[in-house]
Amino acid sequence: MAFLPVTKEELNGERADFIVVSCDAYVDHPSFGHAIIARLAESMGFRIGVIPQPLTDAEYRALGEPTHGFLVSGGVVDSMVSNYTVAKKRRDKDEYSEDGKTGKTPDRAITVHTRNLKRLFPSKSVIIGGIEASLRRAAHYDYWSDTVRPSVLLESGADLLVYGMGEVPLKEILRLVARGARIEKIRDVRGTAYLSAFDALPKKLRENAETGGAVFLPSFEDTRDNKFAFVKAFNLQHANSSYVLGATLLQKHGGDYVVINPPAKPPEQAELDAVYALPFERAYHPRYKAGIPALTEVKFSLTSHRGCFGDCSYCALTLHQGRNVSKRSKESLIEEAEKLKALPDFKGYIHDVGGPSANFREPPCKKAAEKGECAGKECIGYAPCKNLKPDHTEYTDILRSLRALPGVKKVFVRSGIRYDYLMLDPNRDRILREIAEHHISGQLKVAPEHCAENVLKLMNKPPFERYTEFSALFKRINAEIGKEQYIVPYLISSHPGCTRRDAIALAIYLKGINYMPLQVQDFYPTPGTKSTVMYYTGIDPDTGKEVYTAKTGEEKREQRALMQYGLPQNYEIVRRALIAENMTYLIGNGRGCLIPARPPAWK
Beta strands 305-306 and 301-303 are unpaired
Ranges of CATH 3.40.50.280 domains, the chain: 9-194
Cβ atoms of 38 and 82 closer than 8 Å: no
What is the pLDDT, as a whole number, of residue 211? 65
* Closest by CA position to 446, among listed 514, 566, 354: 354
What is the pLDDT, as a whole number, of residue 40? 98
What is the pLDDT, as a whole number, of residue 321? 85
* Closest by CA position to 291, among listed 345, 251, 327: 345
Q: Distance between CA atoms of 191 and 416, rounded to whole angstroms?
A: 29
What is the pLDDT, as a whole number, of residue 476? 97
- Block means of pLDDT (10 residues each) for the chain, 603 residues, are 92 96 98 97 98 98 98 95 96 97 97 98 97 97 98 98 95 98 95 93 77 86 98 95 90 96 94 97 97 95 92 91 90 98 96 90 85 84 93 95 97 90 96 96 92 97 97 97 94 97 97 91 96 98 96 96 95 97 95 91 61
What is the pLDDT, as a whole number, of residue 546? 97
Ranges of CATH 3.80.30 domains, the chain: 269-513
Q: What is the largest CA-CA distance in the chain?
A: 78
CB atoms near residue 7 (< 10 Å): 11
Beta strands 125-129 and 160-162 are parallel
Please give the CATH topology (third level) of the domain spanning 269-513: pyruvate-formate lyase- activating enzyme (3.80.30)
| pLDDT tens-digit series, residues 95-130 | 999 999 999 999 999 999 999 999 999 999 999 999
What is the pLDDT, as a whole number, of residue 602? 60
Please compute, for residue 418, the number of CA atoms within 13 A of its CA located in the half-sphere on the CB side: 30
What is the pLDDT, as a whole number, of residue 210? 65
| pLDDT tens-digit series, residues 116-169 | 999 999 999 999 999 999 999 999 999 999 999 999 999 999 999 999 989 999
Cβ atoms of 194 and 187 closer than 8 Å: yes
Cβ atoms of 249 and 240 closer than 8 Å: yes
Please compute, for residue 245, the number of CA atoms within 13 A of its CA located in the half-sphere on the CB side: 18
What is the pLDDT, as a whole number, of residue 416? 79
Dihedral angle, C-alpha 33, 6, 160, 75, nearest 10 °: 30
* Closest by CA position to 76, among listed 344, 320, 374, 273: 320
Q: Which amino acid is at 85?
A: T
Dihedral angle, C-alpha 205, 210, 214, 217, nearest 10 °: 120
Q: Distance between CA atoms of 263 and 71, rounded to whole angstroms?
A: 20
Is the sign of the CA dihedral 361, 367, 372, 376 positive or negative?
A: negative
CATH superfamily of 9-194: Cobalamin-binding domain (3.40.50.280)
Cβ atoms of 190 and 497 closer than 8 Å: no
What is the pLDDT, as a whole number, of residue 579? 97
Tell me the three state secondary structure of residue 492: strand
Q: Distance between CA atoms of 3 and 35, rounded to whole angstroms?
A: 10
* Closest by CA position to 40, among listed 169, 192, 188, 185: 169
The three state secondary structure string of 396-448 is HHHHHHHHCCCCCCEECCCCCCCHHHHHCCCCHHHHHHHHHHHCCCCEEEEEE
Q: What is the value of pTM for the model shown?
A: 0.95
